[in-house]
Structure 1
Amino acid sequence: MKNPQNTTIYKLIIVGANGGIGRQCVEQALQAGHIVTAILRNPAKLTTEHPNLKKVSGDVMQPGTFENHFENQDAVISAIGVAGGFGSDKPTTLYSQGNAHILKAMEQKGIKRMFLISASAIEISPVLPFYIRLIEKYVVQKLLKHMYADLHKMEILVKSNNISWTIIRPPQLTNQAVSGKYRIAINAFLKNCLKISRADVAHFIINNIANQDTYQATVEIGY
């Protein structure tokens, strides 16, 4: 199916639709003419209203709450994430177990395309400035060790799967408006990958659903 701009309309599942990146994905997908099913624990928290938007209650840690909504969908965007950050890092299985449940539901329903959010500092980039590498290794990775440990498990799990996955590794996230102007590196490190807005991460996702160069690939993104 085509929209007036002659681009394909996709039926998209967005999990974690009330998070910073998830909410941006919802809004930009709708602007592009796609049909969106937003899955979040409390649908009332997503205030966006649109004829092409269906908001449903679901918890990735309880597969029975969301599996039925995966019927006849084209792609899944997993924007799930733990609350908190520096100073509030706690052991979690949200990324690994939550996305394992999503992958199983995708397999059951025949969905082959998926985007997931990881983090650039999960692997120290050799093309970052020396002082940034030190900060990532001795500050960021230590303060967020539980989150990164689970993201690492998630990446191993996803990379062993045969679907068309794209793992996005953003650096420091900001709340700037979408610009559409950023750099990416596919299966490589991005030089001076320091910041990106949540809106531009969403922009990349929505505009690369059918980009085969990003299939089974890890993508770094930054300004």
Structure 2
Amino acid sequence: MKIEQAKINLLVIGANGGIGRQTVELALSYGHHVTAVLRNPAKLSLTHPNLTIVKGDIMKPDAFEKYLGNQDAVISAIGASGGITGDAPTTLYSQGNAHLIQAMKKMEVKRAFFISASAVEISPVLPFYVRFVAKYILQKLLKYMYADLLRMETLVKESGLNWTIIRPPRLTDKAGTGKYRVSINSFLKNALSISRADVSHFMINNVNNEATYRSTIEIAY
């Protein structure tokens, strides 16, 4: 489902990742102007009149800070490599987004989305077996990533920006539907899965939704 809205300038960091690329493609299809920031621009094989691709690293914001000047919103879709079998100590989420927040304040950009994960906090309204897996398997296998995501969330909440933290459950590569459930600052019952495309759909269609400002969002089918 496409919702008509004013055209915006959107900067996406981590634009070659699962959610990042979906966000870039969907935003362009809506007619928005997108600045895609990634460490290796060659990894984003897209061309579009409204797309600007920038070489940059969130750990080194000086490289892309100047591109923040005319942006209406920023989406931080960064992700640490390694996955569920290669979890390692990281500061990518906390320190990287601290750099981003500092750069946004300097360039006077207020609106931002940050991607976290549902399992950083055990939801009491999930089925028992899901809570068990989250607590005794996921949180142990991904303890470093979740610890840094929690540090990131604290920094974001203290930033003074018009932030939205997205906590998706299991992510899939299925096509977007535009049909999903959302809870704002509360746990979402039976939040088991969501496609990356629909996470992107939610963010793009809620850039100017003040009800989502300074809020943590759970989203699922």
- Normalising to structure 2: TM-score of the pair? 0.97
| 1:167-222, Cα deviation, whole Å (9 max, x unpaired) | 00000000000110110000000000000000000000110000111000000000
Aligned mates of 1:212, 1:8 — CA distance in 2? 15
Q: In the TM superposition, what is the alpha-carbon distance from 1:84 to its structure 2 partner? A: 2.4
Aligned-pair identity in percent equals 63
Aligned mates of 1:81, 1:159 — CA distance in 2? 19
Q: What corresponds to 2:42 in structure 1?
A: 44
Q: What corresponds to 2:28 in structure 1?
A: 30
Contact 2:17 2:78 in 1 (8 A): yes
Aligned mates of 2:151, 2:41 — CA distance in 1? 28
Q: What corresponds to 1:12 in structure 2?
A: 10
Amino acid at match of 1:102: L
Q: What corresponds to 1:136 in structure 2?
A: 134
Amino acid at match of 2:45: T
Residue 148 of structure 2 corresponds to residue 153 of structure 1: no
Q: What corresponds to 1:187 in structure 2?
A: 185
Residue 78 of structure 2 corresponds to residue 80 of structure 1: yes
Aligned mates of 2:62, 2:51 — CA distance in 1? 21
RMSD after superposition: 0.9
Q: In the TM superposition, what is the alpha-carbon distance from 1:85 to its structure 2 partner? A: 1.3
Q: In the TM superposition, what is the alpha-carbon distance from 1:62 to its structure 2 partner? A: 1.0
Other structure's SS at 2:174 match = coil
Other structure's SS at 2:84 match = coil
Aligned mates of 2:43, 2:4 — CA distance in 1? 33
Aligned mates of 1:45, 1:87 — CA distance in 2? 24
Q: In the TM superposition, what is the alpha-carbon distance from 1:148 to its structure 2 partner? A: 0.3
Q: What corresponds to 2:65 in structure 1?
A: 67
Give the direction of change, closer, same or farther, for the CA distance of 1:166–1:6 in structure 2 (3 Å limit).
closer
Contact 2:82 2:88 in 1 (8 A): no
Aligned mates of 1:6, 1:135 — CA distance in 2? 40
Aligned mates of 1:177, 1:76 — CA distance in 2? 23
Give the direction of change, closer, same or farther, for the CA distance of 1:6–1:194 in structure 2 (3 Å limit).
closer
Q: What corresponds to 1:172 in structure 2?
A: 170
Aligned mates of 1:211, 1:195 — CA distance in 2? 23
Q: In the TM superposition, what is the alpha-carbon distance from 1:7 to its structure 2 partner? A: 2.1
Give the direction of change, closer, same or farther, for the CA distance of 1:163–1:31 in structure 2 (3 Å limit).
same
Aligned mates of 1:184, 1:111 — CA distance in 2? 26
Other structure's SS at 2:199 match = helix
Other structure's SS at 1:114 match = strand
Runs in 1 of length 4+ with deviation above 6 angstroms? Answer: none
Amino acid at match of 1:179: T
List alignment gaps of at least 5 residues for structure 2: none
Question: How many residues were matched structurally?
Answer: 219
Q: In the TM superposition, what is the alpha-carbon distance from 1:6 to its structure 2 partner? A: 5.8
